[in-house]
């Protein structure tokens, strides 16, 4: 009775300021606004009411009047209730309308604007009368600007006392590229570190937010009883991580010219997938470890073991790097640069295959191939582990036809974990397979040309599963840093890739036709490998 008369007071919602810097960027339009809406909606609909009162600001360089209208237009087409599950549509629409109106435009063109923003956040915060939980700055802008903005955050935007344990938090989210080699990554990390503590920095690798990538460790953990024995150089024939895209580089060549496909996706996304396949499964109760992504410490340990692998051809030992460029890439460079002719490097690869090896005794003799490309025949990304049958101690591996596939997206499989049953007999017994949480085993009805022999697991949430950026935004808001790269991990990634790039940067890519398949057979024929003659990277005037 007493409880009925005096219901427990609701905790007062605390204010969270969210500043999206680069509000007119394509990333913001394509993903970020919708992902922030999803997090906002979830908070609003919490049983007992929201514990957070979000204040959203969208920043860009345009003057206020123009920027305000543009932001409102962008919000109108980039946010919706489509795909929002378990929420009444009318409720969702009402919340969406409030969310769109609550986003305030701020012009951010120079130091004075950041100073003004700091004062505005303090003033508007005080007006709400609610205590501040924290401030999030999402930088969807060129990395050249990161260091300067980190300084503004440190000088003008940090709430007073934000470095104390009880004080409001500050989180700064940055998108790759984090440098273009080890030296520049170190320099950027040092510049950011002058103004931000390590735990304030959230370096995104959006592949870590993809459902299948997050299921690799849980699948391995759930099946460790039988799978760990197979997960060694004695049984694993090869590991391949691939990302194929049909899109070309038109409109993006100014970025591609400075980076190329190895820096764009092999050094980061594909490496992280490989790390999750290779990592020793962290103990269940390790506090710093996330069940799906491990800890920075575990991931860094794998990176320390990776080296460039080799292959032998005609008795000659060669580094396994193959690079290619789609036909027509230079026309795209020329058209992107029409208004601004300048010297460009012509040898930037738009497709590459690189084989790494491991110094860990468990993985002796296994090649780890990372492949990616633009303007290819299909859009898909996957990790494939080939398992070999009949491996007596000391004997060569044979019968390597069983494939355990983590299909991240696209291709014939869509989002799936799958294996070819017949070839895996004796290695993967269907009855022994435990589906990880959030996944279920489905009937393979041969959809999309899938051979009936494949056993398929799919995510329970189906099409409406949160996308990678929903996961990124939710993780930043909850302060879960496991999805993001810490400085040590990032620099170890670059240590692996600096060595590869010191060779790849001197190679002349072989031209390939648009729609190329990038599979094993065609790869060696079409994509060139290191040779003595082409060590210089020629430059031409366009």
Ligand X SMILES: O=C1O[C@H](COP(=O)(O)O)[C@@H](O)[C@H](O)[C@H]1O
Determine whether 113 is an active site residue.
no
**Whole-angstrom Cα distance, residue 31 to residue 470?**
8
Beta bridge partners of 357: 307
Retrieve residue 449's tokens. 């040309």
Closest CA to 460 of 436, 432, 483: 436
Strand-pair category, 169-175 with 132-139: parallel
Which DSSP letter does residue 73 get? H
Inter-residue contact 10 to 48 (CB < 8 Å): yes
Smaller CB distance to ligand X: residue 17 or 264? 264
Closest CA to 216 of 303, 291, 300: 291
Smaller CB distance to ligand X: residue 221 or 252? 252
Could you tell me where the beta strands, DSSP code E, fall in 221-300? 236-244
Write the interaction track for ligand X spanning residues 357-386; mark x where CB under 6 A is met and - where it is not.
------------------------x-----
Query: CA neighbours within 13 Å on the CB side: how many for 51?
Result: 8
Class of residue 76 by CB neighbours under 10 A (exposed 0-12, middle 13-18, buried 19+):
exposed
Say how many residues touch ligand X, by CB under 6 A.
4
Least distance (Å) from ligand X to the CB of residue 300? 21
Tell me the CA distances in angstroms from 268 to 213, 398, 437, 505, one per residue in order.
Answer: 13, 32, 26, 17
Least distance (Å) from ligand X to the CB of residue 467? 8
Closest CA to 152 of 203, 185, 115: 115
Q: Give yes or no for residue 348 binding ligand X (CB under 6 A).
A: no
Q: Which of residues 394-433 bind ligand X (CB under 6 A)?
A: none
**Whole-angstrom Cα distance, residue 418 to residue 416?**
6
Q: From the candidates 269, 298, 332, 492, give the one annotated as an active-site residue.
A: 269
Q: Which of residues 244-283 bind ligand X (CB under 6 A)?
A: 245, 264-265
Residues contacting 439, CB < 8 A, separation 6+:
215, 219, 417, 457, 458, 459, 460
**Whole-angstrom Cα distance, residue 535 to residue 209?**
38
Inter-residue contact 294 to 279 (CB < 8 Å): yes
Residue with the shortest CB distance to ligand X: 264
Could you tell me where the beta strands, DSSP code E, fall in 164-211? 169-175, 201-204
Least distance (Å) from ligand X to the CB of residue 381? 6
Write the interaction track for ligand X spanning residues 204-243; mark x where CB under 6 A is met and - where it is not.
----------------------------------------
Closest CA to 350 of 408, 272, 269, 263: 263
Inter-residue contact 494 to 185 (CB < 8 Å): yes
**Whole-angstrom Cα distance, residue 530 to residue 8?**
71
Question: How many helices (DSSP H) and strands (DSSP E) are in the chain?
Answer: 17, 22
Angle at which helix 182-193 crosses helix 487-504, to 10 degrees, equals: 150
Inter-residue contact 102 to 20 (CB < 8 Å): no
Least distance (Å) from ligand X to the CB of residue 230? 29
Angle at which helix 89-102 crosses helix 64-78, to 10 degrees, equals: 160
Give me the residue label for tokens 């997938």: 273
Inter-residue contact 277 to 239 (CB < 8 Å): yes
**Whole-angstrom Cα distance, residue 191 to residue 269?**
24
Binding site for ligand X (CB under 6 A): 245, 264-265, 381
Q: Which residues are catalytic?
A: 269
């Amino acid at each position: 009775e007493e409880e009925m008369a005096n219901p427990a007071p609701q905790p007062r919602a605390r204010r969270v300021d969210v500043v999206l810097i680069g509000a007119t960027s394509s990333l913001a339009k394509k993903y970020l606004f919708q992902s922030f809406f999803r997090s906002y909606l979830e908070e609003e609909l919490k049983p007992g009411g929201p514990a957070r009162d979000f204040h959203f600001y969208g920043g860009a360089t345009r003057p206020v009047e123009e920027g305000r209208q543009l932001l409102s237009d962008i919000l109108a087409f980039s946010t919706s209730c489509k795909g929002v599950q378990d929420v009444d549509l009318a409720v969702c629409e009402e919340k969406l309308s409030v969310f769109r109106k609550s986003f305030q435009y701020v012009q951010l063109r120079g130091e004075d604007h950041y100073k003004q923003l700091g004062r505005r956040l303090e003033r508007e915060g005080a007006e709400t009368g609610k205590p501040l939980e924290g401030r999030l700055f999402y930088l969807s802008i060129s990395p050249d600007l990161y260091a300067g903005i980190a300084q503004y955050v440190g000088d003008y935007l940090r709430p007073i006392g934000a470095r104390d344990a009880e004080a409001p938090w500050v989180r700064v989210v940055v998108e790759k590229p984090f440098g273009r080699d080890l030296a520049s990554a170190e320099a950027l990390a040092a510049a950011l570190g002058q103004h931000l503590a390590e735990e304030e920095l959230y370096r995104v690798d959006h592949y870590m937010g993809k459902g299948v990538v997050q299921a690799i460790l849980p699948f391995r953990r759930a099946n460790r009883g039988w799978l760990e024995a197979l997960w060694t150089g004695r049984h694993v024939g090869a590991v391949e991580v691939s990302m194929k895209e049909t899109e070309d580089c038109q409109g993006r060549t100014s970025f591609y010219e400075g980076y190329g496909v190895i820096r764009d996706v092999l050094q980061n996304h594909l490496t992280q997938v490989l790390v999750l396949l290779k990592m020793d499964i962290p103990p269940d109760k390790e506090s710093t470890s996330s069940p799906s992504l491990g800890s920075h410490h575990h991931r860094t340990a794998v990176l320390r073991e990776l080296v460039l692998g080799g292959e032998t051809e005609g008795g000659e030992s060669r580094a396994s790097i193959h690079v290619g460029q789609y036909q027509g890439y230079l026309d795209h460079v020329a058209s992107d640069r029409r208004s601004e002719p300048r010297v460009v490097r012509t040898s930037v690869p738009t497709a590459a295959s690189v084989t790494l090896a491991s110094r860990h005794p468990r993985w002796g003799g296994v090649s780890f191939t990372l492949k990616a490309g633009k303007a290819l025949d299909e859009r898909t990304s996957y990790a494939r582990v080939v398992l070999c049958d009949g491996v007596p101690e000391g004997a060569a591996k044979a019968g390597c036809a069983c494939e355990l596939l983590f299909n991240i997206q696209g291709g014939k499989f869509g989002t799936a974990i799958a294996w070819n049953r017949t070839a895996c007999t004796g290695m993967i017994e269907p009855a022994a397979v435990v589906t990880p949480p959030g996944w279920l085993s489905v009937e393979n009805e041969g959809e999309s040309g899938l051979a009936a022999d494949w056993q398929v697991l799919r995510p329970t949430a189906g099409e409406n599963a949160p996308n990678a950026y929903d996961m990124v935004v939710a993780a930043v808001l909850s302060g879960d840093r496991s999805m993001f790269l810490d400085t040590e991990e990032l620099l170890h990634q670059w240590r692996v890739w600096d060595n590869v790039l010191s060779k790849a940067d001197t190679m002349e890519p072989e031209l390939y036709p648009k729609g190329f398949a990038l599979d094993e057979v065609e790869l060696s024929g079409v994509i060139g490998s290191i040779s003595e003659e082409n060590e210089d990277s020629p430059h031409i005037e366009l």
